[in-house]
Structure 1
């Protein structure tokens, strides 16, 4: 048995494109009709007249065929539109009973603990730093945190993944400001208890001309049995004070998983932000995450930020590389490589 997958939006888009194509061809045929169906003879002799009549008849036959093709084209486009509508209606009819069933399953846990049994958590509203909701108790991804308010508000934290499986939500970005320090990025949500990746930390907000950038959010930890740690958020751009520090990478799953990379420090006209430390790998298997690079001090007397340290590995896995030093009139220090596992190598130090 062969299976066919149909996407209603794609079918509708194809129908729209074909409608536009048909209109273009019809306009071209109409523009050519007068010049080709009533061709004047090149001279007054019988041969020239016969040749002109021959070409005119061919042109008239072409216009008749074009009209029939246009009718077929219109019918084909109409059938495509009907098919797209039918698929959409069928999908809606199938989703409604399933959604009703899912609502019935989730209702008791929502009433008791405010969290669905199955399903993804809602994203936090942007612009006010609201936290993302946790995913379903059994299965579901956490919602992303909302961005911070303008004026330096902090970003919201990402929601946690479900118990059995689910990825953590990303942290929200910190709010920018023209005066004062930028808002801190929200922390990434942790992965599901059994399996799931941690969410990435939110980036720090931009600070004012005489202030500091916001710190990047910490990456979420991976799931208990397995999962990659979330990357730390980058530090925000600073003014004459400091760039925001990069967020630390989330730890890998307790047993299996790679640590997340540390976030890059934000640059500033003063001192660049420090790079975030890489997350540690899992106890049995998993490499440590790389440290984030230090931010550059781009002012005349600016100082580069220090690179973040690489994450550790424990049994089987290499340590994470240290972050590169930020550049400036005075360069920052390189990050140290993470310690490798018993069956792994130490991470390399960062570069200057």
Structure 2
């Protein structure tokens, strides 16, 4: 069958994990579309027939601490959330200070803006660095609706037409930087009124060439989260499907949770490279500067390749080429 060559240009980024060994090997040359940003991936797709597509992705291995992370927090302001809101207020500045050592961080907050009770706020230093406060009360079940509404710019998108919150609608327009990774953090002790699949479809429609990561401080079941109103299963699903993480909202001390979130920011910003699809059929080759990279030097999970930090540091600026297939 005659092959169909399809070209596309997507935004991509960088991540990390284990040892490195090379074998010298020549690399194939392809006619890629023009790269427009140092944070971009050059991508070639070849339809092999039989429902299989072969993809060649080429990335620039990124230098550490140079990637941008745009993070949006959504905090439930319902009556049962005073202690949890206090955890956010007490930890957000220290978290941001630590995360800024790992990436170029910018933060937004959707919440009742207050320094007490059920409210939260961004410290002045974060606002001075481009941070954004959206003063909109988040109720028990609508954290995803509030976030989606704030992301809505086109009122004709199905999600935006169905879910409208006037005091949040479109408020994140202009917040995100070109080439920045998007991370969303939900803090709630309750369940979402919309499903994870509905919200993921909205994100896929809005950002077809990106993967936003979703993290949550949520109820994980009455046995381990006795303070929860309901288990946040939709948030658990979202974090799993977007390669994020969830943390137990009922933990007495959130210090370790924020430390883990800081580490996640570091990995996502510096070492991860996103492939086109999460379900890879076969990895054909992984090379840096034309040399085959040992499988021990990287991991691939949910469509994300993670490089060893040592590999990234020693070969920053080099070309990472990943050839793989997926089914259509």
TM-score (norm 1): 0.22
Whose strand fraction is larger, Structure 1's or Structure 2's? 2
